Amino acid sequence: MSKIQLSHIDKFYGENHVLRDVNLTIEDGDFMTLLGPSGCGKTTTLRVISGLEKAQHGTMTIDDRMIIDADKAFYEAPSKRGLNLVFQSYALWPHMTVFENVAFGLKIKKMKKEEIEETVMRALRTMRIEEYRGRYPNELSGGQQQRVAIARAIASSPKLLLLDEPLSNLDARLRIDMRAELKRLHKETGTTIIYVTHDQVEALTMSTKIALFKEGEISQIDTPLGLYTNPIDLQAADFIGNPRINFIEAKGFYDGTGLKVKSAFGEYVFAKEFMKLDEEIPENREFDCVLGLRPEMVDIYTEDPHHKNTVPARVYANQPAGSETLVTLTVGDTEFLAIQTGLVQAW
């Protein structure tokens, strides 16, 4: 368990500035997910933390111990950082058995044979794969290989466990099982975990905190719920949530007491206490704004419930999917999506 602090990390590949002033604090025992689309710098950040890449600027500390001080060209060796990494491809050594794969790092540490046996078996038991100890990686399924990769990483009892899109090569069902498995592992070991993914569902379901990356920068760090309910910008709102959030063009007017928003849905006033007043808001003049409406926030009634926040809409299409039904609705020219639990009668 440990606290990691990244300060002003910059990373270049030639002229390409891939990490831009990254600042990130990961508290002891956190399950921190680095989330973002492909090419946004999340894997590079993980590789910088692991020591497989060198940052050109910035510092990193683990439990106040200096690990990277780029300005002084100081980079602690990867094996001395007290961490381990699970690769996206698993990177299991194909010529070694499961036992040998897990024991490799322990042999390098010159542990006694009995101690290695005990530690490896404990790791294999934790990942529930002790019966495969004599098999080679190519004799295992993708899910089993994944478990071996994690067992290898936790065998050395790292203070920090790094996971680079570890579930992306698994099928949908196995992915759900492994998500639960990783959550259990985090709970049982209490190890600080940094997890890289582009899959928002993985991020939302497993993390204690999420750092959202955009073009080499961290745009928002928050809890999963915080990120979902209060995204920092339209891109963050659009990236998080499945099905995607509805954006509705609107006109805003702030008179110092509340924000009046006019859209195809009618007029709604947001009280001042619900507004983020640290942002620049034009006062006493109309301005363009966008309403974000999560599909599950919409309730559909077939008869008028006589509530002030209702608006008549037409059903454009509906898509029953068993546990939920996606309904596309129109209000005037504005089209938006609603999601209803269960099988909803087709209108």
Partner 1 sequence: MESFQIMPGAGYGADNLTLYAWIGELQSAPHPSFNQNGLFRNSEFGRALGNTVKLSLIASLITAVFGQFFGYITTRGRGKWYGNAVEQLIFIPYLMPGVAFSAIYFSMFSQPRLGGLIPSLYGTFTLILLVSIVKHFPFASRSGSSNMMQISVELEEAATINGAGFWRRIRSIVIPLAKNGFLSGFLLSFISIAKELDLIAILMTPKNYTLSFLAFDYSKEAMPQVADAICIVIIVFILVTNRIADKFGGNVSKSM
Residues 216-275 that bind partner 1 (CB under 8 A): none
Does 112 help bind partner 1 (rule: CB under 8 A)?
no
Q: How far is the CB of 15 from partner 1 (least distance, A)?
A: 14
Contact characters 303-322, partner 1, x per CB under 8 A: --------------------
Number of residues interacting with partner 1: please give it, by CB under 8 A.
21
Q: How far is the CB of 168 from partner 1 (least distance, A)?
A: 14
Nearer of residues 83 and 327 to partner 1, judged by Cβ = 83
Nearer of residues 140 and 327 to partner 1, judged by Cβ = 140
Instruction: Please state, in angstroms and rounded to a whole number, the distance separating the CA atoms of residues 223 and 56.
Output: 29
Instruction: Please state, in angstroms and rounded to a whole number, the distance separating the CA atoms of residues 331 and 22.
Output: 42
Q: Which stretch binds partner 1 (CB under 8 A): 57-65, 85-93, 216-224, 266-274?
A: 85-93
Question: Of the candidates 48, 62, 85, 221, which one interacts with partner 1 according to CB under 8 A?
Answer: 85
Q: How far is the CB of 105 from partner 1 (least distance, A)?
A: 3
Does 50 help bind partner 1 (rule: CB under 8 A)?
yes
Q: Which stretch binds partner 1 (CB under 8 A): 54-62, 102-110, 240-248, 271-279?
A: 102-110
Instruction: Please state, in angstroms and rounded to a whole number, the distance separating the CA atoms of residues 193 and 202.
Output: 14
Q: How far is the CB of 156 from partner 1 (least distance, A)?
A: 7
Q: How far is the CB of 282 from partner 1 (least distance, A)?
A: 50
Question: Rounded to an integer, what is the distance from CA 18 to the centroid of its chain?
Answer: 19
Q: Which stretch binds partner 1 (CB under 8 A): 48-56, 66-74, 268-276, 299-307?
A: 48-56
Question: Of the candidates 25, 75, 78, 217, which one interacts with partner 1 according to CB under 8 A?
Answer: 78
Instruction: Please state, in angstroms and rounded to a whole number, the distance separating the CA atoms of residues 204 and 210.
Output: 8
Question: Of the candidates 95, 173, 276, 285, which one interacts with partner 1 according to CB under 8 A?
Answer: 95
Nearer of residues 94 and 312 to partner 1, judged by Cβ = 94
Q: How far is the CB of 93 from partner 1 (least distance, A)?
A: 6
Paired tokens of 121: 């078996």
Q: Are 327 and 337 in contact (CB under 8 A)?
A: yes
Per-position b or e across 199-225, b if 16+ CB within 10 A of its CB: bbebbbebbbbbbbbbebebbbbbebe
Q: How far is the CB of 229 from partner 1 (least distance, A)?
A: 37
Question: Of the candidates 37, 56, 65, 108, which one interacts with partner 1 according to CB under 8 A?
Answer: 108
Does 105 help bind partner 1 (rule: CB under 8 A)?
yes
Does 51 help bind partner 1 (rule: CB under 8 A)?
yes
Contact residues: partner 1, CB under 8 A? 50-52, 78-79, 83-85, 87, 89, 91-95, 104-105, 108-109, 152, 156
